[in-house]
Amino acid sequence: MWVAFKRVVRAGLVGFWRSTFVSFASVFVMTIALFVIGAIMVIDQLLGASLQQIESKVDINVYFNINASEADMQALQTRLESLPEVSEVTFTSREEALTAFRERHRGDELTIQALDELGENPLGASLSVSAGDTTQYEAIARFLDEQRAGESPQAPIIDRVNFVKNKEVIEKLTAIIGVVERASITTMLILVAAAVLITFNTIRLAIYTSREEITVMRLVGASNTFIRGPFMLQGVLYGVVSGVVALIIMYPVLYWLGPGTTTFFNFNIFHYFLSEFVYFSSVIVGSGIALGLVSSALAVSRYLRA
Give residue limits of the domains in the chain.
Answer: 2-54+171-305, 66-156
Upper half-sphere CA count for residue 54 (Cβ side, 13 Å): 18
pLDDT of residue 282: 92
pLDDT of residue 72: 87
Return the CATH fold of 66-156.
Alpha-Beta Plaits (3.30.70)
Task: Tell me whether residue 17 is exposed, middle or buried, using C-beta atoms within 10 angstroms of its C-beta: 0 to 12, 13 to 18, 19 or more.
Answer: exposed
pLDDT of residue 251: 93
pLDDT of residue 256: 92
pLDDT of residue 266: 79
The DSSP code sequence of 4-72 is: HHHHHHHHHHHHHHHSHHHHHHHHHHHHHHHHHHHHHHHHHHHHHHHHHHHHHH--EEEEEPTT--HHH
Q: What are phi and psi of 86, to 5 degrees?
A: -90, 130
If residue 92 lies in a helix (H) or strand (E), which one and from where to where? strand 86-92
pLDDT of residue 252: 94
pLDDT of residue 274: 92
Q: How far apart are CA 131 and CA 137, in angstroms?
A: 6
Please give the model's pTM, rounded to 2 decimal places.
0.64
Q: How far apart are CA 40 and CA 188, in angstroms?
A: 8
pLDDT of residue 50: 74
User: 170-207: per-residue pLDDT in tens?
Assistant: 677 667 767 777 877 787 778 777 777 776 776 676 66
Mean pLDDT of each 10-residue bin along the chain, 306 residues long: 59 62 76 84 80 71 86 89 88 87 81 79 86 78 85 80 70 72 78 73 67 67 69 80 92 90 84 91 89 76 61
Q: What is the CA radius of gyration of the chain?
A: 32
Q: How far apart are CA 212 and CA 234, in angstroms?
A: 19
pLDDT of residue 118: 76
Pick from 11, 42, 79: nearest CA to 217: 11
Q: Cβ contacts of residue 102 below 8 Å, gap of 6+?
A: 112, 115
